[in-house]
Structure 1
Amino acid sequence: MDTTPQAYRPETAILDLGDAFYDPVTPANFPETHLRFRNDRAAAEVGLETLGGGEWIEHFGRFEPMPGSLVEPLALRYHGHQFRNYNPEIGDGRGFLFAQLRDTGDRLMDLATKGSGTTPWSRFGDGRLTLKGGMREVLATEMLEALGVPTSRSFSLIETGEQLERNDEPSPTRAAVLVRLSHSHIRIGTFQRLAYDRDADNMARLVGYVLRNLYAEEPGDDAAAQLLDRVVGRTATLAASYMAAGFVHGVLNTDNINVTGESFDYGPWRWAPTWDPAFTAAYFDHAGLYAFGRQPEAIHWNAMQLAVALRTVSEAQPLIDILETFPERYQRAVSEAILWRVGVVPLDSTRDRALVQAIEQGMTQSGIGIDRFFFDAFGGTVPADDAFAAARAALVGYTARKPRDHAYWSGAPCSMLIDEVEAIWSAIDQRNDWAPFHAKIAAIRHMGEALAD
């Protein structure tokens, strides 16, 4: 086993795109900086776990540039469909790209912010983040990572000593700045902006940047189709992983879909208590556009918008042919993801799909909690309830992918339902008690160890 510490390897690849893609910005000057969460596990993957407390605050609360990386923060430009209404007036409005660096897998990674002040794209916003919003993003990313979802990582959360007024929660409320570690912040909306401007030269430049830097491939004869193929595969996997996790993102707009297929930017998210396709996360999603069961459809629709944008530099038919592979890729990925949570080794696509369908039907009919079901079923044992008769029959011949010998299996399921989240926030809000928050992160990571291959 290689135990060599990861070296800090700074990058500036984003500058290759040119200043048509971003705007230099100045971070907010916060009155206070109280460190509330530091992700040393993620920091170790990019060579930053040895930063002292003062250095951490200087970089991630005061935004002193990282050595060898970007000399100034960059607010990225993009457009997007928001609840399927096209908006050309958006971009990084309360965050920026702070630094780029390499991780242990030699991937190009971004350190980017949320709540770091106003930018040219802030419109009428204050560029700030509530402490509750930051806390919720930490919890979401930790839980998703443990459940096998490709996700950004919450890297740092610092309370800033400001009081914010918000219409959708009790105010004034506390403020924070979040730093996330992500495999790029290039969105489908980044491509849409170039298509809107009919900017074929920069579109070709962006396609090449993504293929080379995010997929480690040289562009071929039809680079746009090559890229779409990769994105369709990754986003189909993302949609499948949401379903297996029981997660509802809530705002699957094209500006929130990363072309690496990595989930990010968490706002009104929730975990579904039961397998209810109509369950929604956002109180403003009145039509259920991004309901639990409609997430694969929503992500497929977003991939279609990328294809539309890529028509700027490609013929239509190759892009259409690739888009049509999404349903099959999704079906394959969701079978793999659900069987991973059930803790059995896949057999073949036909049997796997039949088993997954029986499991979904059993959960729907029984009303069992999603977390409870997957906890009890891990290793291939489903409830004796009549609703799972077809699943029990379909499981014959499957083998466990790992034993239930981790201490996690002797306790209770780890979950992240809304009442738990509100209780964690209440302790912070009322008593400045962060113990339940840190205890929850420890419990999530304990579950992640039990599930990991």
Structure 2
Amino acid sequence: MPTDPQAYRPAAALLDLGPSFWDPVEAADFPDTRLRFRNQAAAREVGLDSLDDAEWVQAFGRFAPLPGTLPQPLALRYHGHQFRSYNPEIGDGRGFTFAQMRSRDGRLMDLGTKGSGQTPYSRFGDGRLTLKGGVREILATEMLEALNVPTSRTLSLIETGEELVRGDEPSPTRSAVLVRLSHGHIRIGTFQRLAYHQDADGMRALVRYVLERLYGEEADDPIRLLDHVVARTATLGARYMAAGFVHGVLNSDNINVTGESFDYGPWRFAATWDPAFTAAYFDHAGLYAFGRQPEAIHWDVMQLAASLRLVAESDPLIASLEGFAARYQAAIADAMLWRLGVVPREAAEDRALVQAVERALRSTGVPLDRFFFDVFGGGLPDGYGAEWEAVRGALAPYGPRKQRDHGYWQGAPCSMLIDEVEAIWAPIAAEDDWSALHAKVAAVRAMGEALA
């Protein structure tokens, strides 16, 4: 168990909300527990890096309670809009929160699961996770972290020895349980549930919890909370765009009020700057297409504002919502300049540069990862022709924020396109060969070091 009391700082803040916010549950009793991935860097941030592999499996495969934190797993209650249709019958259906602790920087962190078994909200689901789904979540979170997107982190993946039947992939397929390290699991849908039930006292308690526990403010002001969420989610949307990432399912129950991305299902990275590119095969209308993600996130935040009307006046809520566009514009400039590897200048110059880059990427179809690799630091290579002259001119006054002296720049761009993801999974499925996954994680982390 954790051995460093200064690094391991357990908490149980969720209990302060009271039993109307969650249901006590138990993890499934899996037939096997084979450790497949442990994120030692993430574990170190919360003092769990000293666990040996046997202790790790007990904690994250059998869910033996960690000392000083929640006494048992809690399935959180929430509602949400799913593809713009309200659903009051959801909640943690194949996961739970089973521990909280402070990270080295003082943030309250949750350990949450995916694939840990059935809960009162499983409906007709089996509460399980495919091993492939777990591998995909490792790849998504590692890539997003490297590309400066606020994201949950995959802490652990343990194969559980069951055969699962799924309609959208070859079955039977292998099973797993995943543990994520996240800055809270409070969703916009958590607030929607309270508004649905007209629970004003619960709403005030949740506002206070989020401000005090997740934002570190001694306050209970719903307007202040909405301001925070508007700012954080505008930043999230901007960084998705700069990363070329498509979440796939930006329902209101998948938007964390800390602005941290999580819960990766049908995600994709776009090969080119294609606003119509979608990740989910079932998103027939392109509601959550690459270019519509900022709009989708804003719509979800509007549902938070509507829920907060239970305890706040409309006018200040509307005023806060109206700030989303300006915050997004500032955030997309920051995010794109970070990816370009240049130091920001005047706001008008920055906007003009970003617009020139977006236009050129869209019109030429140049691969995103290739472009950002080539241009990092502000130097557009000669091979980029006449259609790039506006970008070349806009870039000219900018200086590099970091030198290209990392070994990463001597190789090729690191990407995470769907064919690569399938190629990493194929040897695991066929031969239980995990070497491609480990090599990819190492390559992604090297890219993150070069960009950071």
- TM-score, normalised relative to structure 1: 0.98
Cα shift readout 1:119-171 (whole Å, capped 9, x = no counterpart): 00000000000000000000000000000000000000000000000000000
Matched, 1:252 2:250: yes
The 8 Å contact of residues 378 and 396 in structure 2, kept in 1 or not, is answered as: no
* 1:293 to partner: Cα distance: 0.2
1:213-224 → structure 2 map (5 Å cutoff):
213-219=213-219, 223-224=221-222
Cα shift readout 1:299-335 (whole Å, capped 9, x = no counterpart): 0001100000000000000000000000000000000
The one-letter code sitting in structure 2 at the alignment partner of 1:70 is: L
Cα shift readout 1:380-415 (whole Å, capped 9, x = no counterpart): 022522221111111121100010000000000000
Is the partner of 1:20 in helix, strand or coil? helix
* Superposition CA RMSD, Å: 0.9
Partner of 1:405: 405
Cα shift readout 1:230-275 (whole Å, capped 9, x = no counterpart): 0000000000000000000000000000000000000000000000
Cα shift readout 1:417-447 (whole Å, capped 9, x = no counterpart): 0000001111100111000000000000000
1:169-188 → structure 2 map (5 Å cutoff):
169-188=169-188
The 8 Å contact of residues 33 and 158 in structure 2, kept in 1 or not, is answered as: yes
Partner of 2:19: 19
Cα shift readout 1:49-83 (whole Å, capped 9, x = no counterpart): 01011100000000001100011100000000000
Partner of 1:202: 202
The one-letter code sitting in structure 2 at the alignment partner of 1:79 is: H
Distance (whole Å) between structure 2 residues aligned to residue 165 and residue 211 of structure 1: 42
Which stretch has the larger CA shift, 271-280 or 385-394?
385-394
The 8 Å contact of residues 341 and 401 in structure 2, kept in 1 or not, is answered as: yes
Kindly, what percent of the aligned residue pairs are identical? 70
Tell me: CA distance 1:391–1:427, structure 2 relative to 1, closer, same or farther (3 Å): same
Matched, 1:375 2:373: yes
* 1:7 to partner: Cα distance: 1.3
Distance (whole Å) between structure 1 residues aligned to residue 294 and residue 371 of structure 2: 22
Distance (whole Å) between structure 1 residues aligned to residue 70 and residue 42 of structure 2: 20
Tell me: CA distance 1:105–1:203, structure 2 relative to 1, closer, same or farther (3 Å): same
Distance (whole Å) between structure 1 residues aligned to residue 39 and residue 131 of structure 2: 17
1:273-284 → structure 2 map (5 Å cutoff):
273-284=271-282
1:71-90 → structure 2 map (5 Å cutoff):
71-90=71-90
The one-letter code sitting in structure 1 at the alignment partner of 2:32 is: E
Cα shift readout 1:170-200 (whole Å, capped 9, x = no counterpart): 0000000000000000000000000000000
Partner of 1:334: 332
Which of 325, 337, 344 is the aligned partner of 1:346?
A: 344
- TM-score, normalised relative to structure 2: 0.98
The 8 Å contact of residues 363 and 387 in structure 1, kept in 2 or not, is answered as: no
* 1:448 to partner: Cα distance: 0.2
Is the partner of 2:23 in helix, strand or coil? strand
* 1:348 to partner: Cα distance: 1.2
Distance (whole Å) between structure 2 residues aligned to residue 12 and residue 44 of structure 1: 20
Matched, 1:294 2:292: yes
* 1:5 to partner: Cα distance: 9.2
The one-letter code sitting in structure 1 at the alignment partner of 2:136 is: R
**How many residues were matched structurally?**
447
The 8 Å contact of residues 24 and 74 in structure 1, kept in 2 or not, is answered as: yes
The 8 Å contact of residues 361 and 387 in structure 1, kept in 2 or not, is answered as: no
Is the partner of 1:120 in helix, strand or coil? coil
Is the partner of 2:329 in helix, strand or coil? helix
Please list every run of 5 or more consecutive structure 2 residues that lacks an aligned counterpart in the other structure. Answer: none
The 8 Å contact of residues 366 and 385 in structure 1, kept in 2 or not, is answered as: no
Partner of 1:105: 105
Distance (whole Å) between structure 2 residues aligned to residue 348 and residue 268 of structure 1: 38
Partner of 2:154: 154
Partner of 2:443: 443
The 8 Å contact of residues 132 and 425 in structure 1, kept in 2 or not, is answered as: yes
Distance (whole Å) between structure 1 residues aligned to residue 306 and residue 15 of structure 2: 26
Distance (whole Å) between structure 2 residues aligned to residue 105 and residue 200 of structure 1: 33
The 8 Å contact of residues 117 and 127 in structure 1, kept in 2 or not, is answered as: yes
Matched, 1:314 2:312: yes
The one-letter code sitting in structure 2 at the alignment partner of 1:288 is: G
Is the partner of 1:267 in helix, strand or coil? coil
Matched, 1:190 2:184: no
Matched, 1:136 2:136: yes
Distance (whole Å) between structure 2 residues aligned to residue 212 and residue 102 of structure 1: 14
* 1:6 to partner: Cα distance: 5.5
Distance (whole Å) between structure 2 residues aligned to residue 209 and residue 354 of structure 1: 40
1:255-274 → structure 2 map (5 Å cutoff):
255-274=253-272
Matched, 1:420 2:389: no
Please list every run of 5 or more consecutive structure 1 residues that lacks an aligned counterpart in the other structure. Answer: none
Distance (whole Å) between structure 1 residues aligned to residue 79 and residue 242 of structure 2: 30
Cα shift readout 1:10-43 (whole Å, capped 9, x = no counterpart): 0000000000000000100000011110000000
The 8 Å contact of residues 10 and 101 in structure 1, kept in 2 or not, is answered as: yes
